[in-house]
């Protein structure tokens, strides 16, 4: 149960017209004052949750999945390094990638994302080739080997965006 407290102030300055004295005292109900303080955080939380629910209901994939894919596999233009081994060491350290094998694609984000445009969810092979660098790490020696190639790539698509790099594929040679 809330308490009633007595507050001294000039009631004509604050616009309060009901008090037990003409100019000096007014009663304030603490339940009402606390209800106003509590309602703003509750309202803010409700709005945040509503926004998150609407984003999920709209069918939009959180961009973090595609962003994570790009952080792990996109490097355009190719970062300068003395050799491909130094390149692999540099990029995996800078990006915090601790995988045994990783492939970097050297093309625009638009070109990479277009692999999934108009395609259903699942594995999709790129119709064109990409410049890539495959970094293979040997955990016993702690060394990396970087191999530059021009290959088609296979990615896992979700809602028109690549979310996982699967493998690279040699381009077909037409006779």
Give the chain's domain count.
2
Task: Write out the residue range of the structural domain in which residue 42 sits.
Answer: 4-57
At 25-45, the pLDDT tens digits run: 555 555 555 555 556 566 566
Contact 126, 105 (CB under 8 A): no
- pTM for this structure? 0.62
Instruction: Answer yes or no: is pLDDT of 48 > 90.
Output: no
Residues 47 and 103: their CA atoms lie apart, in Å, by: 41
**Same domain flag for 36 and 109:** no
What is the residue whose two structure tokens read 């037409």?
A: 174
Report yes or no: 101 and 136 within 8 Å, Cβ to Cβ. yes
Our measurement of the distance from residue 68's CA atom to the centroid of its chain's CA atoms, rounded to an integer in Å, reads 7
Any domain includes 131: yes
| pLDDT tens digits, 111-150 | 999 999 999 999 999 999 999 999 998 888 878 899 999 9
* Residue 170 · residue 154 · CB < 8 Å: no
Q: Within a domain: residue 175?
A: no
Same domain, 67 and 145: yes
Domain co-membership, 87 together with 142: yes
């Amino acid at each position: 149960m809330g308490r009633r407290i007595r507050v001294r102030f000039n009631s004509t300055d604050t616009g309060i017209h009901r008090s037990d004295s003409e100019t000096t005292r007014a009663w304030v109900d603490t339940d009402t004052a606390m209800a106003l303080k509590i309602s703003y955080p509750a309202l803010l939380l409700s709005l945040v949750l509503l926004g998150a629910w609407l984003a999920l209901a709209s069918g939009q994939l959180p961009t973090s999945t595609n962003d994570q894919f790009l952080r792990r596999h996109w490097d355009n233009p190719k970062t300068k390094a003395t050799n491909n081994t130094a390149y692999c060491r540099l990029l995996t350290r800078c990006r915090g990638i601790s995988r045994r094998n990783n492939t970097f694609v050297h093309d625009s984000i638009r070109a990479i994302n277009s692999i999934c445009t108009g395609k259903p969810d699942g594995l999709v092979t790129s119709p064109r080739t990409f410049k890539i660098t495959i970094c293979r790490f040997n955990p016993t020696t702690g060394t990396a080997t970087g191999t530059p190639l021009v290959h088609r790539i296979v990615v896992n698509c979700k809602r028109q965006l690549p979310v996982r790099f699967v493998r690279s594929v040699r381009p077909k040679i037409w006779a």
